[in-house]
Structure 1
Amino acid sequence: MGAAQEIPVPEPPLHEDRLDYTPTARSISLSRHRTARLVRQWGHPELAGDAALLVSELATNALLHGCMRGRLFRVHLTLTGTALRIEVSDPRGERLPGLREAADDDCYGRGLLIVARLADRWGVEPRTVGKTVFAELVVR
């Protein structure tokens, strides 16, 4: 019989914020500004700009590809001793994001490339209804 694998215990959050937004362009700006303000208040001003850009890209993707009429999208921030996790959840679980190369003259298509380069880790998690796309920044 093999040795039992140890399941990592999640770190307790030091700070957490969760807010639902209407699927409008104004919500992108609101979520970006709220994220930057909270991350600064939580003692990590060096992460505020990157966190704001990540939430902006993830929320824009939710708005363009994951929202449905009458359904909100959620931004959830969690700060632990080692990471800032940014999650954006939307109701369209069948529309999974993927990296792609945008042509030089394309107006869209670079959001996840920005997320992949900026975040220390990112990914997609299914939900009972919809999906959550997350990005994490290591706290140094």
Structure 2
Amino acid sequence: MEPDAPLRYDRLDYTPFPRSVTLARRRAHRLIGEWGHPELADDAALLVSELGGNAVLHGCLRDRLFRVELALGERCVRIAVSDPKGELRPRLREAGSDEMFGRGLLIVAGVADRWGVDELGVGKAVWCELGVASAVTA
């Protein structure tokens, strides 16, 4: 299924520091609420946090930014986080009970309706979608 044509769109590049993930998460929460879907704001913020955290930990290079894109379509909210390391493709894995990291994509897969990875000219974009409940018109 192709993504919806966006009704609303936002894109911002961030420096690869943990504080940037916090800023991206807060921005996503605010925008999704302002775009009329406060019921999706918490999940969207969680997804941005997980994907952004992965980009900072595994996908960024010195002096290279990561990008967060939010798009609201008629059927879904699409979140994409891109980073410059295309050779390092994310994958689902079971983290051991003593491991501090390794559960981010399991969280994304559990919360999002769909997710995937797109190769870019430089780097990759990890994306996910949250379905938007259709408004019933009288």
Instruction: Please indicate the TM-score interval, normalised by the length of the shorter structure.
Output: over 0.9
Distance 1:10 1:103, change over 3 A: closer
Tell me how far 1:105 sits from its aligned partner.
Answer: 1.7
**Match of 1:3?**
none
2:26 is the alignment partner of 1:33 = yes
**Match of 2:98?**
105
**Residue identity (%):** 62
**Match of 2:44?**
51
2:4 is the alignment partner of 1:11 = yes
Tell me how far 1:10 sits from its aligned partner.
Answer: 5.3
Say which SS state the counterpart of residue 118 (structure 2) adopts.
strand
Q: Which runs of 5+ in 1 are unaligned?
A: 1-7
Tell me how far 1:12 sits from its aligned partner.
Answer: 2.2
CA–CA distance in 2 between the matches of 1:10 and 1:137?
11
2:107 is the alignment partner of 1:114 = yes
CA–CA distance in 1 between the matches of 2:70 and 2:125?
12
What is the one-letter code of the residue matched to 2:79?
A: I
Superposition pairs of residues 55-134 of structure 1, within 5 angstroms: 55-134=48-127
CA RMSD of aligned residues (A): 1.1
| Contact 2:85 2:123 survives alignment (8 Å) | yes
Tell me how far 1:104 sits from its aligned partner.
Answer: 1.2
Tell me how far 1:106 sits from its aligned partner.
Answer: 1.1
Structure with higher Rg: it is 1
| Contact 2:114 2:129 survives alignment (8 Å) | yes
Say which SS state the counterpart of residue 105 (structure 1) adopts.
coil
The aligned length equals 133
Q: Which runs of 5+ in 2 are unaligned?
A: 134-138
What is the one-letter code of the residue matched to 2:14?
A: Y
Give TM-score, length-normalised by structure 1: 0.92
Match of 2:35 among 33, 39, 42: 42
